[in-house]
Copies of this chain bind each other. A is one copy, B any other.
Amino acid sequence: MIDEKYTGADKLLVNAVEGIKRTGIQVVALRDRYAKMLMPLEGNVNHVGMMYAGSLFTLGEISGGAIHVVSFDMTKLYPLVKEINIRFRRPAMTDVTVEVELSAEQASRIQAEALEKGKADYAFDLDLEDASGEAVAIVHGTWQLRTMAERMGASVPKR
């Protein structure tokens, strides 16, 4: 469920990027430092009836943005994805979900580092799970938190 303070953020995460919106992905839970997303099988099957690899990638990749919204000061900081590794373990034959979470200590430490240095990396190991709770894919992703000043200062942001 979407905590009241994040009403609208769920829609923003899904609608801001056309390539994400057209998958039909849903944000099913947002609360402080926690997010859960669901990729529907419908509209995301491949030529042999399992979930398309790219839709699983989108589910993993959105996690870095979703945790940003519920963990960091969005008036001062924005996220970039640096690198994603995705290992496909089993065919995904149902809707697939992912959960991502930071502790208060982790969020504070990452944000403090970004505010001090202009940027800070954060990484997650994520299980993408089918309806039976089986991990169909494993994602290791690294994102970078940047200060707005860092963005304004660079003509072309480098990762």
A binding-site residues for B, Cβ under 8 Å: 16-20, 22-23, 43-47, 52-55, 57-58, 61, 80-91, 93, 156-159
Q: Kindly report how many copies of this chain are found in the complex they form together.
A: 2
A88, B80: Cα distance in complex, Å: 9
**10 interchain pairs, CB-CB under 8 A:** A16-B47, A18-B45, A19-B44, A20-B54, A53-B61, A53-B81, A53-B84, A80-B88, A90-B156, A90-B159
Determine the chain B residues whose CB is within 8 A of the CB of A54 once the complex forms.
19-20, 54, 57-58, 61
Determine the chain B residues whose CB is within 8 A of the CB of A158 once the complex forms.
90
Most buried by B among A19, A45, A61, A87: A19
State whether A85 and B83 are in contact (beta carbons under 8 Å apart), knowing that A44-B18, A57-B54 are contacts in the complex. yes
Chain B proximity of A25: nearest CB distance (Å): 10
Given A16-B47, A80-B88, list of 14 further CB < 8 A pairs? Answer: A16-B46, A17-B45, A18-B43, A18-B44, A19-B52, A53-B84, A82-B88, A83-B85, A83-B87, A84-B85, A85-B85, A85-B86, A90-B158, A90-B159
Determine the chain B residues whose CB is within 8 A of the CB of A81 once the complex forms.
53, 88
